[in-house]
Amino acid sequence: MVLSISVPLYFYSTEVWYDATYLANQSEELQSWLEGNQLYIDDVQIDLEGNILYRKLIGPDPPLNVELLHNEIEKMRIKKHAKSSPFSIKVLWTKTANFSWPPGLSLKEDVRQLKEDHSQKILGVKWQWIGTQYADGDWLRPLNAEKYFILKTGRNLFDVFTNCAKGTGSLALAQEEVSIKLEMAVDTSCETIKTDERFIADLNRSINISVDEDHLSLLLHNDNGVMHFEKMKPER
């Protein structure tokens, strides 16, 4: 399975690159980003005339936070050269699958990783939606984040609020696995109807949950993206 992604990014340098792959491997910003995405560099090519960096990556999942890499590289370039100019990057991602033998050992590892129960962590807390990043690197962000939040009110129930709608759905948790069933209608006259409907649809496509102190993440089906939430401060 091969996916081609083209997103705006900042290029490292206009200097002559004798070995682009070698220099890419020396970049701390790039290596940190690759490690976070469980990706490896297979090849790097540079088109100096077109100002395009071609990067071939291998890993189990496509990169989701390309914007973060862009910001880090841009900061580094501005710090080094006191200016930046527009470049683009094209990524060719090849999906890989990891296997191990005997299967019993990997199964035990999975069991250890799935011990944490998030049901009590999210109960009674308002989680404000701050945005969803999709597999192609694009973001969907609410104009008024305080209008979009979820609240787990009972064992299998949670309330959902958007800019133009509110409703109640069912939420089933089995350690990190989550299943959400939500039926909500959005007023057709709502100016944010597309955002509201996408937010609701993505909740229904969530399959995995992660909670880290004040941050909650929902992984979408088929690794299509991640919904990000932050814990809302209690009202005074």
- Tens of pLDDT, residue by residue over 6-55, are 333 333 333 333 355 555 666 776 777 777 777 777 777 777 677 676 76
Do β-strands 2-9 and 87-95 pair in parallel, antiparallel, or remain unpaired?
A: antiparallel
Neighbours of 179 (CB within 10 A): 13
- Tell which of 42, 61, 95 closes a domain: 95
- Is residue 140 domain-shared with residue 80, that is, in the same domain? no
115 — pLDDT class (breaks 50, 70, 90): very low
- Is residue 28 domain-shared with residue 65, that is, in the same domain? yes
DSSP 89-141: EEEEEEE-----SSHHHHHHHHHHHT----HHHHBT-EEEEEEEEETTS-EE-
Q: Is 24 helix (H, G, I), strand (E, B) or coil?
A: helix
In a domain, 213, yes or no: yes
pLDDT value for 117: 63
Q: Does residue 133 surpass a pLDDT of 50?
A: yes
Q: Are 135 and 64 in contact (CB under 8 A)?
A: yes
In a domain, 100, yes or no: no
- Is residue 150 domain-shared with residue 226, that is, in the same domain? yes
Which residue matches tokens 């958007």? Answer: 162
pLDDT value for 161: 95
Two tokens, residue 63:
């990169």
- Is residue 68 domain-shared with residue 145, that is, in the same domain? no
As for how many domains the chain has, the answer is: 2
What is the Cα–Cα distance from 39 to 42, expressed in whole angstroms?
A: 9
What is the mean pLDDT of the segment spanning 142-156? 88
User: What residue numbers bound the domain in which 216 lies?
Assistant: 119-231
148: domain CATH number?
2.40.128.270
Please give the model's pTM, rounded to 2 decimal places: 0.53
